[in-house]
Structure 1
């Protein structure tokens, strides 16, 4: 393999579009000067997608992509925090942290980030794995003279660099688009397949200038024939998925009205997205049932939260935690409450940034409750027996009720995505729970039915099409 090396040490080298296919930028030392400025004449963005590949051994904080305008130094920023597994995304100076990211040292990673001003939602994709969506800012575009920098983080428009936030390592294949990429397109980028190059920044026709010690090198590709074979196989695997995804009509309903009308809706193929930490945003699930001798609840959820958070909260006037599924901060533990009596289920393989199916059952005759995570049963535990759950029912997703219908705590709120919520007035059989977990045909809930759900939304909760195909959310 022929290695070519161009050491560019001139301040403000001439910006001529170059095809950097097979090349990389190497940032070989810690400095508050060395950087690459990426040039575009675009100055108005309703949406943004950025993808890049990077390799580093830094364990401290460092910038991965910095776009500033005169009105906002962090107009669009991708930043690796020092905390393990934590990546930050900012739009118009409003940040969100994404936890549980498998960001390994000395490894090439593909990293994509998207933001849409219409919804305010941002999302991170590390090595093709989608994160929860989080709220940044909505309602106005990114506007103004654009300064895009690799290697440094801009604390002011075009400058004020901090050595301890500089990037040391290698970057390649930087692209930027003025729209939100589809999950399939991001997956194709991550898998190094054919994809539509950026229409704002295109690695194959990149205008850039270098300041300080940054090198343009040939990217070292090993075992070319083997990589080519894998690449062709991936192309075949993804062709049908891409066609299917193009046929899927992605719809988005942003419901910000307090107390939206509760009309039964078929939410097949949909999900609730809770994009930010709050003590107000929630979904109320409506039922006229007020007497339960037994209960089964199943749902699917996806989050990066490591703190306490609520998964399902049913209260009556006599008991705030009459049926509660709750994930405490303790790793591998899920709690369940029945008639205000708790039990902890330990040893649960509750992973971050992964869709899980969770079912919980309780029978007043025996007093026994049980948890099922991804179709795997727990031990049965005793709660209370001999009396039903009775009274006006308040069922809430997104918040934990410390009082009937309220008493929300922001540090127990859910941030992430939920789907396929069902509730029955009897204990499901193990086979029925397994069929639910495996996404096979099962008897829908006779109390709450995702396919005919009455609900109302308060605050910033979104109803979105669930992304199928390309394994975009590990489904």
Structure 2
């Protein structure tokens, strides 16, 4: 896990700052060695004890994608890996020292996948929604950690696991983060492209910091 933290910190040193409306656009990570993009926001000096992240991806990604949230440089971190290639229907969630392996539905013919994940740290409850429906629920022994001004990253999962992407990773879009657990109705609204935008990360007014040339921004169309 120390390797993950080092890579995340290094990735943020040589970046570019931008803010833009990313509607209908996506991050496209190239086949070159790619550092993650840091999604930035106005830090309020507070503590985050629960949150929900929603994003859309392609079902046929050739490499994995990882979303991570890191609190300072301690062990209060969280991440989700969306599988790619032959493992495109699998995922891995790591939350405060707990690993959860998940399997995504295989009866969905749509080329795009909507994923929402909530974490309630005080009650140690995790819920994963796929395409507006609950896919996984877990309750753990309570630890009650708070995330202090967390840093948020997204990028190729293999980078964090010590490897290099061999092919195009795919497209990630419509990333939103809230400082609370969304209701099932709110998650369904997100799936149907309705409802509120994230109050921590808002894809329609996105600020990000990424290494120049390591990724491109393009239309979200999910190549077959």
22-31 or 111-120, larger mean C-alpha shift: 22-31
Output the CA distance in 2 between the equivalents of 1:136 and 1:152: 28
Matched, 1:209 2:212: no
Matched, 1:72 2:95: no
Cα offsets for 1:406-449 (capped at 9, x unmatched):
xxxxxxxxxxxxxxxxxxxxxxxxxxxxxxxxxxxxxxxxxxxx
The structure with higher relative contact order (CA 8 Å, sep 6+) is: 2
Residue pair 1:87, 1:98 contacting (<8 A) in 2 also: yes
Structure 1 match to 2:173: 172
75-84 or 40-49, larger mean C-alpha shift: 75-84
Deviation of 1:95 (Å)? 1.6
Output the CA distance in 1 between the equivalents of 2:89 and 2:59: 14
* Unmatched runs of 5 consecutive residues or more in structure 2: 1-12
Structure 1 residues 164, 154: closer, same or farther in 2, change over 3 A?
closer
Q: State which of 3, 13, 18 in structure 1 corresponds to 2:16.
A: 13
Structure 2 match to 1:149: 153
Report the secondary structure of 2:19's partner residue: coil
Cα offsets for 1:231-283 (capped at 9, x unmatched):
xxxxxxxxxxxxxxxxxxxxxxxxxxxxxxxxxxxxxxxxxxxxxxxxxxxxx
Structure 1 match to 2:38: 37
Structure-to-structure mapping, 1:424-439, within 5 angstroms: none
Deviation of 1:164 (Å)? 5.0
Highest Rg: 1 or 2?
Answer: 1
Structure-to-structure mapping, 1:237-276, within 5 angstroms: none
Structure 2 match to 1:98: 102
Compute the RMSD of aligned alpha carbons: 3.2
Matched, 1:63 2:65: yes
Structure 2 match to 1:460: none
Residue pair 1:87, 1:97 contacting (<8 A) in 2 also: yes
Matched, 1:118 2:122: yes
Residue pair 1:68, 1:147 contacting (<8 A) in 2 also: yes
Report the secondary structure of 2:15's partner residue: coil
Cα offsets for 1:119-148 (capped at 9, x unmatched):
211111111121231134633233245232
Residue pair 1:27, 1:151 contacting (<8 A) in 2 also: yes
Matched, 1:129 2:130: no
Structure 2 match to 1:163: 164
Cα offsets for 1:342-394 (capped at 9, x unmatched):
xxxxxxxxxxxxxxxxxxxxxxxxxxxxxxxxxxxxxxxxxxxxxxxxxxxxx
Structure-to-structure mapping, 1:259-298, within 5 angstroms: none
Output the CA distance in 1 between the equivalents of 2:221 and 2:87: 30
Report the secondary structure of 1:17's partner residue: strand
Q: How many residues align?
A: 204
Report the secondary structure of 1:163's partner residue: coil
Structure 1 residues 37, 136: closer, same or farther in 2, change over 3 A?
farther
Structure 1 match to 2:6: none
Output the CA distance in 2 between the equivalents of 1:100 and 1:198: 24
Deviation of 1:30 (Å)? 4.8
Cα offsets for 1:18-49 (capped at 9, x unmatched):
22122211113252x34311013256211110
Output the CA distance in 1 between the equivalents of 2:139 and 2:87: 21
Output the CA distance in 2 between the equivalents of 1:166 and 1:142: 37
Structure 2 match to 1:186: 187
Output the CA distance in 2 between the equivalents of 1:20 and 1:13: 16
Residue pair 2:123, 2:144 contacting (<8 A) in 1 also: no
Output the CA distance in 2 between the equivalents of 1:219 and 1:24: 5
